[in-house]
Structure 1
Amino acid sequence: MPVDLRINLLGGCEVRTRNGEDLTPRSRKARAALVMMALSPEGAVSREKVAGTLWSNKSDEQARANLRQCLRELRGVLNNGVDGIAIDGRRIALNLEHVSVDVREIVAFGERAEDAPDDVPDLYKGRLLDCDLPDDTAFDEWLYAERMNWDNRIRIAFAAILQAQIANGQWPRAQRTAVALLRVDPAHEEAHCALMQSFVSGGDFGSAVRQYRTLKEVLQREYGTVPSSTAEEIYAKARTAQADHATAPLDAPAATAITAVPAIQGIDTAVRQQPTGLQGGRAIPITVLPFQEEDHGNGRPGASLGSGISEAIVIALSRFRSLVVVSSGTASGVHGDLATLPPQEIARLFKVHYYVRGRVRSSGERIRITVELVNCEGGQIVWADRFDGTMGNVFDFEDEVASQIVGRIDPCVVWSESEKVTRYRPQNLAAYEHVLLAIPSIYRSDPVKFHEAGTSLLKAIELDPNYSDAYAWRAFWCMHCIGQGWNREPRVTLTDAADNAHFAIALDPGNALALALAGHVESFLYRRLDNGGRLLARALAINPNSSFAWAMSAVLECYLGHPEQALDNMARYQRLCPFDPAGCYFRAIYVIAYTMMHEFERAIEIGTEVVRENPNFINSYKPLITSLWHLGAESEARSFAATLLALEPDFSIEKFRRVYPFRRPADVALYVTAYRAVGIPETAEGNS
């Protein structure tokens, strides 16, 4: 019997007819009810379960009434010329003879793997239900369990198909299936081995070596394990063959690699071969030299403390995806103190752009640590600082100092490299150089430079479709575009932000930057504050020294109605990165928190500084106007309101309520009362 409707839940949620007509329900609740049917056994679910899951905060009577309205919409969509849904007094069900669901298709093909068609991998277009769905605690819990269940079933299905293709020697098909499987499970060793063997069979030994290294890194990061003997054998074969054929050196990127490209605007969604021979890789190389020790008469110098600090810094820096840490023990034939070598020699020995050096001095119970970040190119000291402590708990002191050091190093290095790329503009920029070029322009809120930054990020993704940081920064760019009101197509930009954020995580589940941005996307754009909180918690668990993640978590605490906690998180941000080049952007968070706490004078003091430094950053005006009016400075509040409306002509009270996800009604009322008093219109039409 022919299929009349297709329900696609991977990478979004849509319903289409055989002719391609879009019948996706318009309301979020109707989409959620459809999803519950599509993912339930036999496509059927009880009315009671749907009502209790989608309206868990309503009375039973209200929930049933809401469900009836929701089912009217579904019946109108799914039974419009198609026998797509059956509804009775107890349950609602999809007619699976007329309706196909992408996740069910993948699982079904896995059960008959020998007969799976070539295009099965194309069905996997992204994360299950990566779309706008209701923000209800019961539904969130149901969805979390379903994602776990279906991710596992899809993983098993692709693995079965892959095994069948390998057994039949169908390597081109196996490549595509392996890539799809790695999008579901980046640590799936059989998929990595299949790609490695496929590359070896095709004579692409460099790509096989690169794939092995990716596997090794993922296994170590996710599970603390090493590749199996099978992977080691394929790797050894690739290394030997590469040497025999006198190909590129093993430490160079492979000439080609199979990559999976997400469904993001402007990028082909097919599996394709993409050159990845990029100069400079994806991160900025840095090394940490052993810290020197001086004992001023206490007989217990920091020999162990110096090495402990160095090791702690290396471990902490390794959690930043923007940096690649080169061990200072890799230099051979070097005698004496590495710190005395010229910067150019350090660069030559370790193939790095920057290095960290330091000194530990102790006298009695007192300890002083000085540290410098040096640019190898010209020997300039990019940043230096001093830390004082006591010999009390040495390990706690090591960790605290290392935390503060790396919190400063990451933004300093990134912005220093950004300036270098901007200044010299190499003819053929690598992907990571396009990212570096974009970062400063995102924060400066200059519309022209900002849109150039968006183009640079798209170019980075085009050059390296597996570069997690490029997608993460593109998501941030989309967020800022929406926040500034510069998006010509809001729905496209909204989807673009979510797609990029979640694909960045799929490519690198340990990328704290990507997790923090995804958390901000969930909370700010989709108003799913609990989901956002979980993602931000993961980001901080992976990298507790990410000042960016602490700042994003502070924003979330404001939305949740916890301004005191927001200030605590900002204190962590400030301690980690007291001289953040992007500090003006993040200082606006203080203005929001102090406004919510009714500490209007403090909010005005900081807010005035922020708008003076970055007059185009519209979100700094909104809490400032609110604080000014509540403090009685109505004239100044009206003046700033006029500036805000000139920058964001469609701003209105209705837009504020729709865009900003404050959970407490009192916080919304605080803003709205001030806005009405200073002349902010109720709707956008009031601006005309």
Structure 2
Amino acid sequence: MLTARLLGETVFLVDQQHVHIPNRKSRALLAYLFLSDSGADTREQILGLFWSEAEPERARASLRQAIYEVKTTLEDAGFAGFESDNLTIRLRATERRSDLGDVLDGLHSGAVHPGLLQRERITDDLLRDIDGVDPVFGSWTAARRETIRQRIVLGLEKLVTAEPASGTSQAKEAATALLALDPSHELAARALMRMLVEEGNVGGALDVYKRLWNHLDAEFDIEPSEETRALAAEIKLADGAASSPRQPAMPHDAVRVTRIGQPVLAIRLRNAREETKARVWRFVTESTPQCARVPTSEKDMLVVEAQTPVDGGRLGLSLLAPDANLGGIVDAVGLHVVGSDQSDGPDTAVALARLARRGQVVASEAAREWLVEGIDAAIQDLGYLAASGTHGPRAFELKPVAVRALDAGHALMKMHPTLAVVPILPEGFDTSRHVVPLLVAEEIAAELSRSQVIDVISALSSRRLAGRDLLPDDMGQRLGADYIVLADIRTEGAGGRLRVELVDAQTNVMKWQQHADIPALTTEDIKATAERIAHECLAVLVNAQIAHAAAVPLATLDSYRLLFSAMALMDRWTRASFHRAHEHLFTLRQRAPLHHWPNAWLSFWHIRSISQGWSADPKADGSAALDYASIALDSNARCSLAIAMEGWANVYASRRLDVANDRLSLAVEVNNNDSLAWLYKGVTSAFIYKPDEGAEAVERALKLSPIDPRRSYYEALAAGVLCSTDKLERAIELATNSLKSNRLHASAWRALVTAQWYAGKEQEARESGRSLLALEPGFTVERYRRQHPAGDSKYGQRIARALQAAGVP
């Protein structure tokens, strides 16, 4: 039995005896196979992961050496389950075990592994000592850590929320483990607090709350949610405690001097009885613990200070809400923020409460400036309120925000997911003092908006949610977003530490988290970091749609999930994934037979089946591609994607390059920012041997798609176009970049061979030619001329000469 310790220092044991593998990449290779779902992978995939920056021949030699080292070391120790052939490297599943596997298996059977209780943020240690062997492997490891962390979190959450029959001790262990894994996990904190109270350990419960509060305050500069604060207040009241982690509420008869910027509420009561005031005051302290009473001579008024204007508005609305259960004893509420004349605070709030009609929350102009329409309240300008013929204060009525639920049919048919980037800021933040967080969020949103597969809410709209005590699902409802990207930055010297989370706005489940250091808070460094973060975020989002689509019946999937997963599956370059993509697109088309998006992408699928050589009947696929493009154009004649697909279908279905070029010219005229249309326009221009025009078009396509999930596809085709020009080093650069992401893309290998040959790098071209033949053993120059749509053109002849000279038969 081969055992691996993957959490912490990476260690391997055979029958409990330590096995020393000296080379870090060899250890990383073995660890990778442990983490792979099947315990196996292709040599090409492993080359791309561990030797992404090495020359192909040197990479293959290094892989052979690593395989030899691992195999001989394990066999010498008595383990024969490590196997390899010309295509695949594998570990036999029945003969391997790992500490991570034990953790996951335990959760599957309803048990909490001791390691989850003994170590904090345990998944952060996964392959920590070997993740730097290659940049691509490092990125893969980071994504794998997050995937595993989410699996563990979901497993623990199930145990925490399970029926009591599963055992209180088990739920307690699960909650403790969740907080060790994620100290900000409020569901776990509340569950643990309740269980400790049931055991009679009130001090322990409040200690859990204090640790949660301190962590959220230190890491994110936020407080626990209202639900968690309410639970803590309930525990304190039951135990006779009156303290809170922050400033305690003032005693009933305390003297309070209001200060500039202080929000003040005047609560007009139905009567002046002390028991009425006590009841309302109890409601105030339970719902908003940070409030304090202010003395007043008004017998039927209760005057309080709130921590922020937003808190004040929220408290005023909650006092008059039907579920407050106050029996109608609150008549109206006035809200004011103290100006330079500190004495005007309580008096203005009282005046507003006096002038308000029964059931109204009325805010002064000073208070209204702090509130956001549609977020904090629905706000109506009442003009100047008058009393006894006088000119009264400017007033605004506050009402609860009615969140409009999206029509289910509309949500199901939406073709693109919508994202919003929201900076994490303190409530009542000052824009002039928080320029950097706002700028970072704006740059991330700008980079994401350059993708054609998502819709991004404007930064100005998203920033209005900053500093608000809202969960991601609340933000999603208010902005109409499917995903929320939360961005938090802390300055450190001249630079900063950025923390970004991608959260599903339907479930509040965090899909991805990343930290990034910004060397200097300059526009250049911020833009560079934002571009990298946006690229990683989009990649995670695409992979999440694939995983979701694999686990959920297609009929129940949102349309954008179907479309996303289909696009990504087509770019995996395996037949199985390619046919799964067709299933997703066909399901999407069944929902909307005439919608231009599914028809345009089905046209693309049929063209790809021809270009990949996977079509059983190229003529039928070509006809289908043209038909689907035509249906898409009948639905929307100005859909640039559909026009581009019609042009691209003419390249592969009928080889009418002149018609294709005309249609693609129209596509970029209709939408000058359609990167895919520009890409195909460039390729077609090269095919009809307009090399400069083609080069200009593909460079524009690359500029328009900096974070496109199909970036490697763009780079491969662009490299092929540049082979017809003198920009051969640029072609080599693009082809190499494409192969780092996807070593199975044959056209990238063809472009690399061609560019290297004409650049005078003949030996490298021959090595790349051997890689091309390893990928496609039956490939010949004659087959290229026969099957490629430009095989007989001047362009095709140039490619064929280079391939033949580099040793392709």
TM-score by length of 2: 0.39
Q: Point out which structure has higher relative CO (alpha carbons under 8 A, 6+ apart).
A: 1
State the TM-score, normalizing by the size of structure 1: 0.45
Which has the greater radius of gyration? 2
